[in-house]
Chain A
Amino acid sequence: EPEVTQTPSHQVTQMGQEVILRCVPISNHLYFYWYRQILGQKVEFLVSFYNNEISEKSEIFDDQFSVERPDGSNFTLKIRSTKLEDSAMYFCASKGRTYEQYFGPGTRLTVT
């Protein structure tokens, strides 16, 4: 069964460093998303992406964040200068023509 994959599973970085979180969505899906879950809090929407552009973003998704689909398979989230409060589990999701989004296993980002 097709699934969304994410790498790395765990990323540790120092404050101020850039990180790139990678996702491979399900191959025939058209809509791509990033969500995050700070430890002990609920899952929050960050950004949606369709047809090579951002379709919606949340207040969290400020200028430090960017997304890209550099080729036909990968979907990346870049944080330019990480802050302590960026520590969270980041989930990628993709969706085809139906309503449900399929999530990857997540990347745990730890900023020290």
Chain B
Amino acid sequence: AQSVTQLDSHVSVSEGTPVLLRCNYSSSYSPSLFWYVQHPNKGLQLLLKYTSAATLVKGINGFEAEFKKSETSFHLTKPSAHMSDAAEYFCVVSLKNTGFQKLVFGTGTRLLVSP
């Protein structure tokens, strides 16, 4: 069965400093991996996705994630945090090669950005 583990429930950074949100996955099959962001009282917005093309994937708002099969990781990074990045971030896995794919969410990491 697929699962994801987000290693930090909260991450605090200062504006302008790098962001690292950690995610490890478990999957019996070659997975699709996603990062979604949820701003307060808002829905879930797709940041980026990995589906077996390039291992380094770029998303919106300057975020990137690198798929490392040997480490079963898919960490989310951003070189310089903005105040507007403060939100909840979810690492998500799904079974690839099926149209019906359900998404399995991690527990989320709350990113706090201070001035």
Assess A103 versus B100: contact at CB under 8 Å? Given A42-B105, A42-B107, A43-B105.
no
Residues of B within 8 A of A (CB): 32, 34, 36, 42-46, 49, 51, 90, 94, 96, 99-108
Assess A44 versus B99: contact at CB under 8 Å? Given A102-B46, A106-B43.
no
Contact between B44 and A99, CB atoms less than 8 A apart: no
Write out the residue numbers on chain A whose beta carbons fall within 8 Å of the beta carbon of B34.
Answer: 100
Contact between B49 and A45, CB atoms less than 8 A apart: no
CB nearest to A104 among chain B residues: B43
Contact between A99 and B96, CB atoms less than 8 A apart: yes
Q: What is the CB-to-nearest-CB distance from A65 to chain B, in angstroms, rounded to a whole number? A: 15
Write out the residue numbers on chain A whose beta carbons fall within 8 Å of the beta carbon of B104.
Answer: 45
Given A31-B100, A99-B49, 14 further pairs, Cβ under 8 A? A33-B103, A42-B105, A43-B90, A48-B100, A50-B99, A56-B102, A58-B102, A91-B43, A95-B99, A99-B32, A99-B96, A100-B46, A100-B49, A101-B103
Contact between B44 and A43, CB atoms less than 8 A apart: yes
Contact between A99 and B107, CB atoms less than 8 A apart: no
Q: What is the CB-to-nearest-CB distance from B88 to chain A, in angstroms, rounded to a whole number? A: 10
Contact between A45 and B102, CB atoms less than 8 A apart: yes
CB nearest to A4 among chain B residues: B43
Q: Mask for A7-18, Cβ within 8 A of B = 1, else 0?
A: 000000000000
